[in-house]
Chain A
Amino acid sequence: MGPLAPNEIITENTNLFLAFIVGIGFGFILEQAGFSSSRKLAGVFYGYDMVVLKVFFTGAITAMLGLLFFSLFGWIDLDLVYVNETYLYSAIVGGVIMGLGFILGGFCPGTSFCGAAIGKIDAMLFVVGLFIGVLIFQEGYPLWEGLFKAEYMGTPRVSESLGLSYGLFALMLIVVAVGMFWVAEWAEKKFPREEY
């Protein structure tokens, strides 16, 4: 029963090898979807190209449903699957800084590696910027350590926070996503797009 590495069904080395294989799939599909292009990615913020929203939410829903079904079939123990910790303030402030970085740079970290892999020079400089930004955080750590660790809430799931069952929240998320896809299709018709 999964997850395989935490259940010690596969060795640590096999796990790292699988990380490489999963990464190939991740990079390949990001590039195929057009995420190596900053103009395509930034489109989501102006409505002329909504590929980010479509791929991102389809991906999140697919994985969420997959995990639910795997758990239902007894293939995976969801208690052993990592749930991201919630530190309220740093999540918000960090997210706002990332959003500003997104609109300035036109990439996020994963997509910039993809762009760099096919020769986009702007993506390569974004990657250089990433290293600088991470280094600044690490070197100046005492300055923002307080904010970084403030308002720790544990590892709650949204469904628990809202008092809903896992499955009901999943269904609601799908309905919301379908609504957003509809808006996305409308936006792409409304805002002109050039070929790039």
Chain B
Amino acid sequence: MAEETLQLRKTRYLNPYIAGVILGLVLLAANYFSGRGLGASGAIKSTIVATVKTIAPSHANSAPFYKEELEKHPGNPLNSWLVFQMLGVLVGGFLSGVISRRLTFKVEHSPKISSKRRLIFATLGGILFGFGSQLGRGCTSGSALSGMAVLSLGGFISMMAIFGSGFMFAYFFRKNWI
């Protein structure tokens, strides 16, 4: 009985090296089809640009960022490769959760901290990551992973800066995780 509960509780994930090879093949497919790699933060940018364009057109026409962005990419910002790809990510993640029975509403956190603390830090982390991804022209997927696959110097710099900074700050926030 006890063993059975343990068995049920244990979340089984795919072998990381096999997962990595498949991830690499997905990235290869993206490059083969579209000539570009994967990405995530770019889709958020496009969504916000589209929203601003719709609900505050005068602001979109005058504020420097939107002006530049709409000149660079005319047409509907939501018609972008990354927006469709990220919709796919939501579907793919959900399907994986269904198959591996991991669909549950929960706040995941170390037993040493409260849910509230976890949620505050998650929001703060998201804000910083969102801002940094725009300044750095792409996040872990678009700049670091996809950039490395094509040996982009910028991609390697992003990768080293992201992980280097993570290691640098890890000590100060260790209570949240270990």
Interface on A for B, CB 8 Å cutoff? 2-6, 10, 15-34, 36-40, 42-46, 48, 50-51, 54-67, 70, 75-76, 78, 80-88, 90-123, 125-139, 141-142, 144-145, 147-148, 153, 155-159, 161, 166, 169-170, 181, 195-196
B11 smallest CB distance to A (angstroms): 7
Q: A2: which B residues are within 8 A, CB to CB?
A: 31-33, 35
A141 touches B63 (CB 8 A): yes
Interface of B toward A, CB cutoff 8 Å = 9-11, 13-14, 16-17, 19-41, 44-45, 47-49, 52, 63-66, 79, 81-82, 84-97, 100, 102-110, 118-119, 121-170, 173-174, 176-178
Cβ B20 vs Cβ A86 within 8 A: no
Find out whether the CB atom of A63 lies under 8 angstroms from the CB atom of B109. Answer: no
Cβ B100 vs Cβ A101 within 8 A: no
Please name 16 pairs of A and B residues whose Cβ atoms are closer than 8 Å in the assembled complex, sorted by A.
Answer: A16-B79, A24-B91, A26-B85, A37-B11, A42-B176, A67-B28, A84-B138, A91-B158, A92-B161, A98-B162, A102-B125, A121-B105, A125-B119, A129-B123, A131-B47, A137-B131
Chain A residues closer than 8 Å to B86, beta-carbon distance: 23, 113
Partner of A91, one of B24, B125, B161, B166: B161
